[in-house]
Amino acid sequence: MTGDDDANRGEGGRPEDGGREDARRGDDGRGDEVRGARRIPGPRAAADDFDLDAVPLPPPVPPTGPQPQSSLPIPRPTTPEPESAVAPPDPPGSPAPSDPPAAPALVLPHRVLKALLGAWALAACSVEETEAVEAHLTECAACADEALRLRDAVGLLQTDRSLDLDPTLRSRVIDTCLSRRPAKIPVPDWAAPYDAETARLDALLRDIGGSEWHAPLRLRWFEGETEVNRKTTVAGVIGHLMTVDGLVATALGLDVPLGDGTTGRGDDWPLPPTARTEKFWSTARRPPTRAIHEPWRAQSHTLIRTVSFAGRGVAELSVSYGDFALPMHDALLDRAFECWVHGGDIADAVDYPYEAPSAAHLHRMVDLAARLIPAALAERRRSGLAGPARHLVTAGSPGRSLHLEIEGTGGGDWYIPLDSPAAVGSAAHTVAQVALDGVEFCRLVAGHVPPVEAAAGQEGDREAIRDVLFAAASLSRL
């Protein structure tokens, strides 16, 4: 270093033409001692601090083919790029780079793989663990069986399924138990629908909260040609069911719950269901609460137990409803029908899912309604609410008929005599046809669907169709 160089040093010992280089080494001049040592890089310099003419450019990449000439100038870079930013091209003839070698398969001992089966069933394993487990399942039968059981168990944990039990679960469990050890005193087949529907309603009532027993709802039915309703609560509906069930209990010689909380024969109580229910509601000291659940449940169990012990003769015992009477087997079927209908009313009031009865039981309910329609039609004709009879026949002879076709669950075909309840329905004498879904027909009979909106398909005599639909709706009552 010459004296001229020393003279050119400015204040602070920085040369005017190389001050930035010495600044990178440090003011103490020990840059050579730490050259090559790893250190934390400082902040990147701004682009305006560089002399772009002094920054070396990366070597050009040779073209791989003819390139079109462009008249536009190539812009110069505005920021310096390190020389290693662009890799030099491979010399001609060099081999292409090969793919990196695949990772070796995960090898785990049997005890670890068995412990991972639960996580595998839940899809919680990593990709490597999943491959190892699935490879092991093809070799180990015991682990494969365990994996299938775990997958089935995981399927039961899915939350998108309904948490409510299958309505047929109870009957299937009972059927399985009875197939292994038949009951010494079985429930009569004709009482099975009432047994099933009271059990389903009991399950619903056990699942609702205390405040929901006071949820308001309206009971609907038809009188004449108009729809009427009565406002009550969930507890009030159970009181109504218990009171009308008392008609069956009275026919069996049993005591019935009275409105004041006591039990007795109830000889002074009216027989028609509507008047009987109104007396129960008016006699109660206070509005019904959830305390009504246990008396209703106890009475339904007593009815099932009594008819089971009574034997076959009780099936034809007459049950009076005031204006009409039904044999015991039809009366319990009627009570099963009303239990299902009002169970649906309660379920709607508390926003609870409630399915239709089983196909076999629903078919019996439809059959009962179809057998009652001719008498209801005759009653409406006497009241001037239906058209006159057109062709009277002797009792037991076929006459003009309507073909009632019930589709779906519990479906079938019924031929309703139009001119006389003593006549026999006949396919050969059909003058009209009505097609209805099974549940929809039951809703019509319960008074929950207007007759003019009920039939899905109609064909033939329009007056006969109207008379039968309104007669079916007139079967409804409180």
Predicted confidence (pLDDT) per residue in 43-84, tens digit: 555 555 555 555 566 666 555 545 445 444 554 544 444 444
Q: What predicted TM-score, i.e. pTM, was given to this entire model?
A: 0.65
Predicted confidence at residue 106, as pLDDT, reads 78
* pLDDT, tens digit, 9 for 90 and up, residues 143-185: 999 999 998 888 777 655 555 667 678 778 877 887 888 778 8
Query: How do residues 404-427 score in pLDDT, each as one tens digit?
Result: 999 988 899 999 999 988 999 999
**What is the pLDDT, as a whole number, of residue 64?**
54
pLDDT at 97: 55
Residue 364: the pLDDT is 97
Q: Are strands 401-407 and 430-437 parallel, antiparallel or unpaired?
A: parallel
Q: Which residues contact 144 (CB under 8 A, 6 or more apart)?
A: 137, 138
| Residue 216 β-bridge partners | 233
SS3 content of the chain, % helix, strand, coil (to 5): 45, 10, 40
Centre a 10 Å sphere on the Cβ of residue 438 and count the other Cβ atoms it contains. Answer: 21
State which residues of the chain have pLDDT below 50. Answer: 2-34, 36-37, 65, 67-68, 70-72, 75, 77-86
In angstroms, what CA-CA distances link 189 with 11, 252, 308, 364, 372? Answer: 116, 18, 10, 11, 21
* Helices vs strands, H then E, count in the chain: 15, 10
Determine the pLDDT at residue 321.
94
Q: Please tell me the predicted confidence (pLDDT) of residue 7.
A: 41
CA distance 19 to 362: 101
Check residue 13 and give its pLDDT: 42
